[in-house]
Structure 1
Amino acid sequence: MCLPRLCFCKMGASAGTQSRPASKAPTDTGKGKNQSKRVVHGYALVKGFASHPLEDYHVAEYRSIGEHELGLFAIFDGHLGNSVPAFLQNHLFNNILKEPGFFRDPVNAIKKAYSSTDQIILDRASVLGAGGSTAVTAILLDGKRLVIANIGDSRAVLSRAGTAVQLSVDHEPSKPSERVNIQNRGGFVLNMPGDVPRVDGQLAVARAFGDKNLKEHLSADPDIKEEMIDPATEFLILASDGLWKVVQNQEAVDLVRKIHDPKTAAKRLTDEALARKSKDDISCIVVRFL
């Protein structure tokens, strides 16, 4: 397969219905310089039925650092307010990239930056509030190497030759390993009838940024996975649980595999989640490798 010169293109979209006011997302374009494969992305964000403002935030941008080209993509799904996901949108990637040795060992740099960023959020709880946020981040290094990190239940799914490959870990309190970790920290998992398991009966994810009142029992350690971009790599989906609660991984891949415009693909996924009665905020980024 012949791989053309890289061109990074950014496309934004908003989606919604009358009862779901959509966030405003700009449309623009950009180019990378040094890669051999074209990369384009699009995104769509939809406000859920809750009365509070949209709590999903995203990052989708490209940066040149020295000889390197980076694609930076993320979904941050906040709870108990939008201050923490907004802070992550503005600061998490900066904190990752300023870690010494990032290009030598990005996995270690990401782990350190997740930890230090969480501590900053906790230290600023008087300003940012007591809420928190999940995160799934993707860093594309020089168009060849993809590093995915996550805490919480926002998810990254890769399409490789039409097969869905989940690259993130859903950190749910019901999972035995997460339950043990919570209990070892002195917490407990409570599952009320008709509800989902929650940390200390409150939070439905086992790992998150912030949440100062639960932090003794809550981890902010990311799971990290690396993938190489090869000719079989078609596209990456990053989305909040507003999508994944109602759409399975392979379903998502099948829905948009033939949609080459990533903005249209992202909107197709949010529209499907709406059609399936998802009540949460829904945010989605599609990154297509051409």
Structure 2
Amino acid sequence: MSCSVALSSSPVFSPSSSFFCNKTSILSPSAETLNLTLTHLKSTSSPSSLSPSSSPSSPFRKRIQKTPSVSLLSSSSPSSLGSGAGFGPGSVLKRKRPARLDIPVATAMAFAAPLMESQGCREMESEGDGYSVYCKRGRREAMEDRFSAVANLQGDPKQAFFGIFDGHGGSKAAEFAAKNLDKNILDEVVRRDEEEIGDAVKCGYLTTDTEFLKEDVYGGTCCVTALIRKGNLVVSNLGDCRAVMSRRGLAEALTSDHRPSREDERDRIGNSGGYVDLCRGVWRIQGSLAVSRGIGDRHLKKWVIAEPDTKILRIKPDHEFLILASDGLWDKVSNQEAVDIARSLCISVDKPEPLLACKKLADLAVSRGTSDDVSVMLIQLGGYVLSSDLYRIGHRANL
């Protein structure tokens, strides 16, 4: 089945999970069975073809003698096919069953959807005021990563919102989050005091998750976002997208990946009635998902929460740039290595080339064997330092 191929190619989602065990088996009919069925349907146009005393030379009888049928259900009993199917008890021969596929029907259809979409672009890139982003498709049929970039937020050049969204089980959740998360966060920010900005971001994430679940589609997405407002950098994440800042050339991770291998995440899942086990070298929730937080993932929503971790810091002159990227990069490139490559093209040159830096990082991950989509966004932080902060720093230096 094409749906099993689509599922197994994802490093995040595993279809052969114990979470889906004890479901009704779905066996694909063989070409022989379908051929037999079509032959029988043609023959039923003649009343004589249904007679028990059909001649041995009848084409339909010859077909039955040559080709044993296969049950379309998990039961091996001939009667399980039902009289309506047109197979009599004597026409069904036992045959070795194919391997069991423990894939729920609804999930299989939903996760196979990306294969039916247009092949789409292999690359996406964009540059704007203070940011550059580059996305490169992995080995899947369609890109599941998305990004969001809103400079001059609310008409203020010192405010902006940026995000990287790494979808799994399709791109629907990533698309939805990229279109709606910034608006939902801003709606909460304007209602609250500046001291409550962390709570505002959290509510924006939870609202986006609730709204997506109402869409009644499958899949989920990891996220990492950066809200720049009044000289503050507010970084939040779900899953294994990551934010890394360059502070005078030193890499500083501002987020921590949410994975079932983390002891605190494993304890949280266990306390909620779930479990984490090791599947082919990867820790997964219910043997299925390799990240423990995200937007969407309705079938695991009890354990895959949408509550982000948030870090707030004041932007200072020694904060050079911020890298937001999906795990397609971080699984193959270290934090410091990413900063070194980006800095060589953005800081230590007369003509900065941040988009080229994003491309070089993505290409490096691909050259090291990643099969995942790779999305890299680079945000220059120098333009967001408030003049009042520059004055205070300069005043202290003179003292």
**TM interval, short-chain normalised:** 0.7 to 0.9
Q: Is 1:141 matched with 2:201?
A: no
**Residue equivalent to 2:143:** 54
Per the TM alignment, residue 65 of structure 1 is displaced from its structure 2 partner at its CA by 2.7
Check if 1:177 corresponds to 2:264: yes
Question: Pick from 160, 163, 166: which aligns with 1:77?
Answer: 166
C-alpha distance in structure 1 between counterparts of 2:251 and 2:225, whole Å: 18
Q: What CA distance in whole angstroms lies between the structure 1 residues aligned with 2:126 and 2:252?
A: 29
Deviation of 1:276 (Å): 1.1
- Structure number with greater Rg is 2
Q: Distance in 2 between matches of 1:153 and 1:67?
A: 31
Unaligned segments of structure 1, at least 5 residues: 1-19, 31-39
The aligned residue for residue 22 of structure 1 is 122
Deviation at 1:121, TM superposition (A): 1.3
Aligned pairs, number: 255
Aligned to 2:332: 246
Q: Which has the higher helix share?
A: 2
Matched residue type, 1:245: D
The answer as to whether partners of 1:239 and 1:283 remain within 8 angstroms in 2 is yes
Matched, 1:202 2:274: no
In structure 1, the partner of 2:278 is 191
8 Å Cα contact 1:140-1:146 kept in structure 2: yes
**Any idea what the Cα deviations from partners look like across 1:138-167, whole Å, max 9, x if unmatched?**
01114x210000010000000001111000
Kindly state the Cα deviation for residue 135 of structure 1 after the two structures are TM-superposed.
0.5
SS at match of 1:203: coil
Contact 1:102 1:109 in 2 (8 A): no
In structure 1, C-alpha distance between the alignment counterparts of 2:258 and 2:318, rounded to whole Å:
28
Query: What TM-score do you get using the length of structure 2 for normalisation?
Result: 0.61
Write the letter of the residue equivalent to 1:136.
Answer: V
Shift of 1:41: 1.2
Q: Assess if the C-alpha contact under 8 Å between 2:138 and 2:374 holds in 1.
A: yes
Q: Show the counterpart of 1:161.
A: 248
Give the partner amino acid of 2:263.
Answer: P
Identity of aligned residues (%): 39
Stretches of structure 2 lacking an aligned partner (at least 5 in a row): 1-119, 347-352, 383-399
CA distance in 2, matches of 1:166, 1:186: 31
Distance 1:67 1:284 in 2: 25
Contact 1:49/1:279 (CA < 8 Å) preserved in 2? Answer: yes
Contact 1:96 / 1:102 at 8 angstroms: preserved in 2?
A: no
Q: Which runs of 4+ in 1 moved over 4 A?
A: none
TM-score, normalising length from structure 1?
0.84
Deviations 1:38-71 (A, max 9, x none): xx211110000022x1000001221343768421
Structure 1 residue 93 displacement after superposition:
0.5
2:126, 2:134 within 8 Å by CA — same for their partners in 1?
no
Distance 1:198 1:266, change over 3 A: same
Aligned residue identity for 1:121: F
Shift of 1:235: 0.6
Mapped to 2, the partners of 1:218 and 1:263 lie a distance apart of 33
